Structure 1
């Protein structure tokens, strides 16, 4: 029976592509001939391989593809990728929230770690602040779905996103791109590269993004939902011989966009969903940057050695007004700081019938911060501060062996050891804001509610096995089994008075996934597709629950139990003619909690806890996965018209669908988002010489209103602070680019 179901699902995916037409993982550039899956090179398994041969669900987007659709930052990949959610965090402009196949992390507080790994040129980005990366000067972006614990390690239990920048070419080159658009949008991107002899090369890219707000802070008159971002990258490459290569790269992002306070969902409400009456302040600044040194030595035809050394640091200073009113009813000023050092060594080995990668990885990171919870009605402030030091070491390997010309087997594993030291301090004060946030007149109220330092070690082995079979040169199938884990830690908000168990921290979470996939090209390579079904068992899921507790907000982070996630994904392209290509991507996810042990702070009078002040109760029947719609998809086309002078016009319409979803595991009727469509249209003209481009990009043309985040703290004492954060409205952008 299972065999029949699997076969039907895979063949249904292929048949769907024959008439529905896909937006695929497969990069379709301006060339009318669609790139086929056996021509696309990715590094999903840490070595260069054709996409068709990789036994992993991967979506790959070239720079040309993203430019034709007008994608401005990586959150727009949500429109085109199955089972993916990328959003700016609640109250943030550039902090990333990511989910793949229902697995992720919504809480960007210091010390918490994402469930989807983000990599820039193979450097792991440990913190989500400033991780909403703008798309410029890139070669491609890869989205790997499913646990990637073997080759990418801890915190990739949902998947991984690889942001790959361009390497320096053989000839000097430069590019300028300027854009104007809705709400006084003014963008400028300048990049250039200069080879210096046969051995040296230098490149630099600078981007400036400015936009007035979609709304206004009606209390202060300042822009709300605006953009003020500066980003820069530079790299120096050195190749002393044909077999040795070094690259020193640096990057910097500064986000001075105003604080994003959200929209008050209960009266009194401002007129627009992008307006606010917040009084907590509009000042906000996020700054992050890093350096990396990559070295490669091709020892011989069978062995390549690689080293990746990186250091990154960042800081965030901002405010969120939870009540969205001028008075300090529920305000949260905050400050975060982080830094990380990482070192990875790899050995890539290739034989006549086998290939593999082996390596070691080391990470030393610190994340720290502080925030006030200001409850003005009772003149009370709760200061929460602390830090987490993480030291991680891992050894990994993955080997593929061709049993026959058609059959190959891959086996891999990773052993990881983490040591974490967490310090948490929580103190209440009489007064509006604490001394940490410049109110030196605040009076401590009693002893600290939390004040501890603790150290925990976490150790895990994450294996992966896959089998691939080549039915023909253009059709491959695979089956895989893999595991991933996200490290345990400490709740930085934990209140030891309300929940004494917070000092014990929380355990790692794990995901075990079975996956069967089919990739290839049919009908003389007119149809390119990739489809997969998967079944995941999710254990000890870490979930943050925040709830009103008297005159403050309390938090519990715990391993709530277990859940099951099953789904199907499809993406592909159909070339109807040399000028017309249809595309689609589609995913279905059935995710449910088998057990959800929620902390009940008031201690219900039942058999579970009759004498305790609080207890854990299984509420799985009343909980659902957040940011995980059942159905998600996109449908589009690309039409290329060639003019007599050799120039071309590419027209790209698309409509992306996202089904109903909850913002939190607990239903919230005022915040949960109903299904919606986003309709986009772009037109890009390119000169015959490929030097000039002119583009017009329309996004959300039907002006759909949809929530991407929220907070829920009901009750008069907290100002009935139920607020939503919304995705961008209808926008139109015009761009002119020149290459030289």
Structure 2
């Protein structure tokens, strides 16, 4: 009874399909071996000849993932362990539509089908388009996704708008993580891994009864790895991994119709991280004596290596990426008879303690760039679900409160004057002008969101059903941006001063204070129709009209000629999203072969995009609305298991994501940095005029590859080894993606070339839970970039993050 209660509410009544039906075959154990059977099966199904049918309870009854109608990838926890996908960054290798980019935990983007958050922007004043949920609890900041997965049972990556059944409205999709629950039978697991680069990882969990009605579970995970970049200045390997995670749960079942789950977790990262290193330079329209080559020559500086795959840097500022996340939740599920009532109450916190080098060189230009931040969030969700013979429905309410407090610090050093001021000015040769110039920023956000949502499913005939849904949302954001600037002599830098030194200083670090506000109501709805074309062939079509809430700018906004902030830029409009999707799910050859194909189109008006200010320290970027964006494409997955000894899969996506209309976008670096005037210079022509903005209508969105493929296979054979009966196995998982833009406005300097990554594993596993395997990741040592970036200043410098080199190691795991 209790298992049915839990499973009946976990999936939020969302329709689900499986990208990897045969994930069980590719993992040491079936991905869904812990799925709870229902006591009231909807219909009897013929079991496939080979392998287990992946079942979900999305509509409050057990049914095959092939029978429910929304695009989703389902990956079991055992498969994640097998391929070494211990965080979302590695999960993207299995899910073609998912894109993950991170220069540090706070500056992280998760996009689905090319949309989600503005690429390259660190700003707490807007909502993410891809929701992160762990055991039904919404995580407001993407930073949570950079931590290790901990005791995961399965992960579902839902594609397309989610909001008529989820607590927080998300217009691009959701990553729904379900951890393993406490059990009333004693069980446990332990796993250790060792590899090159000093990689060490340990995981353990234990679960069992404390009484007839109380069960507990505890899990721990620790990961460490030497850095992948060597800093010749500090003589340290940087960009390392240093992660610790703890999770505890208590499950109380006082009677047959009620269960209460109390959960708490703590995760910490404390690496020396994160540096982006020299990749190349490209000419801008800035005067030649203010571009990278001239500036470095004037100070007698040479970068330690011009080949980024030497993995060397000489950054001289302190680096840190301290990241701590934790919280607790109480989930109560009560079977009232006619339906199920669920309450989820949660508190979460996030503490971020960074240190960065934002000039990306070994020169003391930007000696400190730190934005420590503290977040608290409170959520309350109520849902009532009813299942009938020909219909079912769910209604819910959600309340969200978030508080963010950030203390920004930017400080400049003795090399800043020569680097940042016009070389023709006498001030440029005086290091004291900018040495010690400091901006202290007080940044605050109070964010409130309230919603009511619901979905109704009507089984019109045995083969045809319709499923409408709705959402009413209220959002309110109140922010503060207060930047106080002082120079090395302790004087306030203000717009009132006419002192030439202070005039030069405020051109680099501008004081500013404003209090942006946003509040609005919106109404979302969707309609899905499903039709069974034949046995094991199901079709669906969805239309959705939804909204992403508006936001506030918390990184500063442009000033007018008098130095006053342009308050109209303090807030951005909501995104208006129109979504269409259709698909067919099919199985053949006694379900040995699964083929699923879907097509989608999403149109967004008032898309929340990034606009960059070209000055060095005034602000890094702010939000604005692009008039229209469209993403459309096709996704497919094919999996086959002709026998119990072999399985294979191929999944792919074609995504055409473009700005349909964006007439006042920021210009790419090759069209930036020049003077003003009616005659615009050629791209990259030094000393010519630059346009105030650029029309990039029709150009591609950043961070999305047009083509992505995930593919793999596993073969196994029975064997007796060390007097243990089991099987040896060999598996491969690979991912190929085409090129993508790594700048909000496409640039010839920041196009990341396509690449392929292949991972291999080989091992021995037994029926009693032992699994020993060797692994090889990025087996062919592919040289690729995770992302490229354009530092402010228009010097022509391009920096980036090289992807991981070849790694290898051994894992020993045991379940008992």
Q: 2:354 aligns with which of 318, 335, 360?
A: 318
Moved more, 368-377 or 210-219: 368-377
Provide the secondary structure at the position in 2 that maps to 1:60.
Answer: strand
1:329 paired residue number: 365
Distance, in Å, in 1 between the alignment partners of 2:443 and 2:51 is 48
Provide the secondary structure at the position in 2 that maps to 1:67.
Answer: helix
Change (3 A) 1:370 1:706: farther
Change (3 A) 1:195 1:104: same
- Report the aligned-residue RMSD: 2.7
Provide the secondary structure at the position in 2 that maps to 1:370.
Answer: strand
Q: 1:394 aligns with which of 428, 437, 451?
A: 451
**2:150–2:245 Cα contact (<8 Å) kept:** no
Report the alpha carbon displacement of residue 419 of structure 1 after superposing the two structures with TM: 1.0
1:446 paired residue number: 494
Change (3 A) 1:461 1:725: same
Residue segments in structure 2 that go unaligned for 5+ positions in a row: 1-18, 31-46, 281-301, 418-433, 496-509, 668-673, 681-689
1:532 aligns with 2:611: no
**TM-score normalised to the size of structure 1?**
0.89
Provide the secondary structure at the position in 2 that maps to 1:129.
Answer: helix
Change (3 A) 1:544 1:374: farther
Provide the secondary structure at the position in 2 that maps to 1:666.
Answer: coil
Deviations 1:536-575 (A, max 9, x none): 1111111122232266445331011102211000113111
Provide the secondary structure at the position in 1 that maps to 2:643.
Answer: coil
**1:491–1:502 Cα contact (<8 Å) kept:** no
1:585 aligns with 2:651: yes
**1:149–1:485 Cα contact (<8 Å) kept:** no
Q: 1:491 aligns with which of 553, 559, 562?
A: 553
Report the alpha carbon displacement of residue 215 of structure 1 after superposing the two structures with TM: 2.0
Change (3 A) 1:46 1:606: farther
2:4 paired residue number: none
Report the alpha carbon displacement of residue 49 of structure 1 after superposing the two structures with TM: 5.0
**1:565–1:589 Cα contact (<8 Å) kept:** yes
Report the alpha carbon displacement of residue 374 of structure 1 after superposing the two structures with TM: 3.7
1:369 paired residue number: 406
Change (3 A) 1:78 1:113: same
Distance, in Å, in 1 between the alignment partners of 2:106 and 2:719 is 40
1:214 paired residue number: 228
Report the alpha carbon displacement of residue 93 of structure 1 after superposing the two structures with TM: 5.1
Report the alpha carbon displacement of residue 714 of structure 1 after superposing the two structures with TM: 5.9
2:484 paired residue number: 427
Distance, in Å, in 2 between the alignment partners of 1:565 and 1:386 is 33
2:741 paired residue number: 662
2:711 paired residue number: 635
Report the alpha carbon displacement of residue 607 of structure 1 after superposing the two structures with TM: 13
Q: 1:306 aligns with which of 314, 329, 342?
A: 342
1:555 paired residue number: 621
**1:116–1:155 Cα contact (<8 Å) kept:** no
Query: What does 1:403-418 align with in structure 2 at a 5 Å threshold?
Result: 403-418=460-475
Distance, in Å, in 1 between the alignment partners of 2:49 and 2:400 is 38
Report the alpha carbon displacement of residue 317 of structure 1 after superposing the two structures with TM: 0.9
1:127 paired residue number: 141
Q: 2:756 aligns with which of 674, 677, 688?
A: 677
**2:516–2:553 Cα contact (<8 Å) kept:** no
Distance, in Å, in 2 between the alignment partners of 1:627 and 1:48 is 37
Change (3 A) 1:45 1:505: farther
**1:322–1:711 Cα contact (<8 Å) kept:** no
Distance, in Å, in 2 between the alignment partners of 1:158 and 1:548 is 30
2:329 paired residue number: 292
Pairs aligned (count): 700
**2:447–2:477 Cα contact (<8 Å) kept:** yes
Change (3 A) 1:463 1:615: farther
**2:20–2:73 Cα contact (<8 Å) kept:** no
**Relative contact order: is structure 1 or structure 2 higher (C-alpha 8 Å, sep ≥ 6)?**
1
1:191 aligns with 2:191: no
Distance, in Å, in 1 between the alignment partners of 2:578 and 2:145 is 27
2:125 paired residue number: 111
**1:494–1:502 Cα contact (<8 Å) kept:** no
Distance, in Å, in 2 between the alignment partners of 1:278 and 1:423 is 32
Deviations 1:405-461 (A, max 9, x none): 000100000000001111111233313xxxxxxxxx643201573212243212111
Change (3 A) 1:93 1:349: same
Residue segments in structure 1 that go unaligned for 5+ positions in a row: 1-21, 432-440, 609-613
Distance, in Å, in 2 between the alignment partners of 1:465 and 1:25 is 30
Q: 2:109 aligns with which of 83, 88, 97?
A: 97
Distance, in Å, in 1 between the alignment partners of 2:50 and 2:585 is 10
**2:557–2:570 Cα contact (<8 Å) kept:** no
Report the alpha carbon displacement of residue 710 of structure 1 after superposing the two structures with TM: 3.3
Report the alpha carbon displacement of residue 227 of structure 1 after superposing the two structures with TM: 0.7
Change (3 A) 1:74 1:48: farther
Deviations 1:605-649 (A, max 9, x none): 5699xxxxx998561247421111110011211112211453112
1:255 aligns with 2:292: no
Q: 1:694 aligns with which of 772, 777, 799?
A: 772
1:651 paired residue number: 730
Report the alpha carbon displacement of residue 251 of structure 1 after superposing the two structures with TM: 0.6
**2:125–2:477 Cα contact (<8 Å) kept:** no
Provide the secondary structure at the position in 2 that maps to 1:52.
Answer: helix
Distance, in Å, in 2 between the alignment partners of 1:56 and 1:254 is 34
Provide the secondary structure at the position in 2 that maps to 1:156.
Answer: coil
Distance, in Å, in 2 between the alignment partners of 1:615 and 1:310 is 49
Report the alpha carbon displacement of residue 660 of structure 1 after superposing the two structures with TM: 0.6
Q: 1:80 aligns with which of 82, 90, 94?
A: 94
Change (3 A) 1:36 1:508: farther
Provide the secondary structure at the position in 1 that maps to 2:145.
Answer: coil
1:435 paired residue number: none
Moved more, 460-469 or 143-152: 143-152
Moved more, 547-556 or 336-345: 547-556
**1:293–1:308 Cα contact (<8 Å) kept:** yes
Change (3 A) 1:153 1:235: closer
2:429 paired residue number: none
1:544 paired residue number: 610
Change (3 A) 1:44 1:665: farther
Provide the secondary structure at the position in 1 that maps to 2:66.
Answer: helix
Query: What does 1:499-518 align with in structure 2 at a 5 Å threshold?
Result: 500-502=566-568, 504-518=570-584
Provide the secondary structure at the position in 2 that maps to 1:76.
Answer: helix
Provide the secondary structure at the position in 2 that maps to 1:130.
Answer: helix
Report the alpha carbon displacement of residue 319 of structure 1 after superposing the two structures with TM: 1.7
**TM-score normalised to the size of structure 2?**
0.81
Report the alpha carbon displacement of residue 517 of structure 1 after superposing the two structures with TM: 0.7
Deviations 1:701-739 (A, max 9, x none): 111122223331265xx8755310122111112111122
Report the alpha carbon displacement of residue 95 of structure 1 after superposing the two structures with TM: 6.0
Change (3 A) 1:722 1:677: same
Provide the secondary structure at the position in 2 that maps to 1:233.
Answer: strand
Distance, in Å, in 2 between the alignment partners of 1:647 and 1:675 is 40
Report the alpha carbon displacement of residue 222 of structure 1 after superposing the two structures with TM: 2.0
Q: 1:620 aligns with which of 692, 696, 702?
A: 696
Report the alpha carbon displacement of residue 247 of structure 1 after superposing the two structures with TM: 0.4
Distance, in Å, in 2 between the alignment partners of 1:98 and 1:261 is 20
Provide the secondary structure at the position in 2 that maps to 1:321.
Answer: coil
Query: What does 1:5-154 align with in structure 2 at a 5 Å threshold?
Result: 27-28=24-25, 29-30=27-28, 39-42=53-56, 50-87=64-101, 89-90=102-103, 92=104, 96-105=108-117, 106=119, 107-152=121-166, 154=168
Higher strand share: 1
Distance, in Å, in 2 between the alignment partners of 1:630 and 1:334 is 34
Provide the secondary structure at the position in 2 that maps to 1:557.
Answer: strand
**2:611–2:623 Cα contact (<8 Å) kept:** yes
Distance, in Å, in 1 between the alignment partners of 2:199 and 2:729 is 23
Deviations 1:154-208 (A, max 9, x none): 5511100001001122311121111110101111111101212321001101111
